[in-house]
Structure 1
Amino acid sequence: MAIDENKQKALAAALGQIEKQFGKGSIMRLGEDRSMDVETISTGSLSLDIALGAGGLPMGRIVEIYGPESSGKTTLTLQVIAAAQREGKTCAFIDAEHALDPVYARKLGVDIDNLLCSQPDTGRTGA
C-alpha cells in the first residue's frame, strides 16, 4: 500500500520530531533492520547481568521487576538506582506495592531527596 508523497513527508516530519524530543530509537518501523547500542547499568550481580544478555539493565527505559513477595525485587531495584544516581542519572521508582522504605533505600545508597517516586492506586494509574 503506497502512501502519497505529502503524507510520506508529514509522516517523516512527525517521526523526526518524536526522535528529536524523545531520542533516537524512541520510534521506528518494526521492519527496519537497525540495531542500537543501548547503555546498560549493572545489577550488581554478574550472573544476572549475563542472564539478561545485555550486561545489565537498559538505561533510559522503563524496567519492570516482577516476582513473588520477599524475592528481592525492591533491594535489586534500589541497588541499581543507587548505582545510577552515583553516575549522575535521574531515576524514578513506581511503587505499585506501596512498600518503599526510605530509610532502607538510604542505607542502600539511594539519594532519596532526588528519587522520583509514584505510588499509584492501580497498575493502570502508574503506567
Structure 2
Amino acid sequence: MVGSRTRVKVVKNKVAPPFRQAEFDIMYGKGISREGSLLDLGVEMSIIKKSGAWFTYEGEQLGQGRENAKNYLQANPQLMVEISEKVRGQAGLDGDVDTFGAKDDEPISLES
C-alpha cells in the first residue's frame, strides 16, 4: 500500500486542549490506517513489544518492520480486536469495540 506518515498540530479545538500534536498514517485510497494507529497505541501502552524492527504481541511475532506488522494485523482481524480491547481497557474506554472492516469503513467513490 502507498501512503504517508503525517504529523498534524491542532491549533483550535473545542473539546480538548489546543496545540497538541498527533501522528498517523494516511493510506491513499483507504484513509487513516487503523492498523498503524493500533500499533502506535499498543507500543505506547506496552501491550505490543518493539525490539529493534520486530513487533511482538504475547510471544507472537507480528512482523519485522512497521509495514509487515500492519499487513499481519490486517490479515488477522480477530487479533486486531483483541489488541484493541486491551488498548481501550487501559485507556479507560471499556465498551463495545467497533468491528474492523465495517460498511462505514469502505472506500467511497467521488465519481457519479
TM-score range, shorter chain: 0.3 to 0.5
Larger Rg: 1
- Which of the two has greater helix per residue? 1
TM-score (norm 1): 0.31
- Which of the two has greater strand per residue? 2
TM-score (norm 2): 0.33
